[in-house]
Amino acid sequence: MINFLTTRDHAYTLENPRAAIGSAIRIRTYEWLFGQNKLPGGTWVFSDHDRLGGHELTWAAVAATALEAAGVRLLNRPANVLNRYELLLKLKMEGINCIGAWRANEMPHPDSFPVLLKSDHDHLQSHVALIADQSSLETKLAELRRSGIPLRHLLVISYANEPIRIGTWRKHSVFRVGDHFLSYSPVIEDNWAVKYGKVGHSTDEELTAAVREMDDNPYASMMKPVFDAAGIDYGRVDFGFANGRPVVYEINTNPYVPKPMLEHRRQDYADANNRVLDRIHTAILELDTEGASVNIAWPGKARSLGFWHREFLPFRP
């Protein structure tokens, strides 16, 4: 059995592999976890770390420690996983990345511009404009505070990504599933934020390059040290390129695994996507283990407080 832990509102990310793989996958939520005294055996994958509050991460770590002590196979150990801010700091310090990150409430002076603003607890791009210089950054942060928006969970991140043609940017992705590193289709948009991709915007040459990237998997060895630095065994890293070097933006510990692509203007592109999905599904199946159930001893009032907190919280980021 492979137990994936997600937040309640983001369990949909694994519905497609569960449909493809079947009963080997169990999608469980932290809401459920915090109400249990005993956990079933099998492999456990902890995801959605950035959507958990500090005390929730502590409780997740309690469960992970108990599972690990019982000899359970564990991926994304909560105590080891770095959040976005920690990861960007570490990657720059180790010379892997060229971009920096600063906490907005510390009124930073970044060492390079442009910069962007991003929350440290979700994957949305709520602030869509690049900020060109220090004066503009200070003005923007002051405006946010005046409008009542706290800066505590906001990051200032230097931006680097070269357009592949005028007005067009590309973002690359590599999935990690245990010991497997798999390049997925790059995303192309007419927007520097390049998140979901724009249908019909890619040229035939760019689609051919995407097929080659998915089949040749050229970035696996390049991204392994990034995942290792982050303490992440399951997730998807997103990155671009600047001056010929990769620029890592983030690692999502609960990435959406898409459905097979049934049609596309280029059948070879659809086929390459589906081959990667098959490899992801196979890698997930390789995580499967068996084992006895494990007792959990929650500290203090963690269980009752956890039940109240998550059941009555109206939404998650």
* Angle in degrees, 0-180, between the axes of helices 204-216 and 267-285, rounded to the nearest 10: 20
pTM value is: 0.91
- Asked whether residue 137 carries a pLDDT value surpassing 70, the answer given is yes
Distance CA 36, CA 195 (A): 37
Whether residue 158 contacts residue 113, with contact meaning beta carbons closer than 8 Å, is answered with yes
Q: What is the pLDDT of residue 304?
A: 52
CB 235 within 8 A of CB 255: yes
Give tens-digit pLDDT for 140-156: 999 999 999 999 889 99
Please tell me the predicted confidence (pLDDT) of residue 315. 43
pLDDT tens for residues 153-170? 899 999 999 999 999 999
Q: What is the pLDDT of residue 312?
A: 42
Quick: pLDDT tens for 244-276: 899 999 999 999 999 999 989 999 999 999 999
Rounded to whole angstroms, the Cα distance separating 90 from 88 reads: 5
pLDDT digits (tens, 9 = 90+) for 168-195: 999 999 999 999 999 999 999 998 888 8
Strand pairing class (245-252; 234-242): antiparallel
pLDDT of residue 178: 97
For 222, residues 6+ apart whose C-beta sits below 8 A from its C-beta are: 246
Determine the 3-state secondary structure of 175 from DSSP. Answer: strand
- Check whether the bond before 163 is cis (ω within 30° of 0): no
User: Residues 207-252: pLDDT tens digits?
Assistant: 999 999 999 999 999 999 999 999 999 999 999 999 989 999 999 9
Report the share of the chain in percent with pLDDT over 70: 92
Locate 278 and state its tokens. 């098959």
In whole angstroms, give the CA distance from residue 126 to residue 235.
22
Average pLDDT of the segment spanning 40-64 = 93
Would you state the structure tokens that stand for residue 86, as one six-digit string? 């920690």
Look at residue 109 and tell me whether its pLDDT is greater than 70. Answer: yes
pLDDT exceeds cutoff 80 at 64: yes
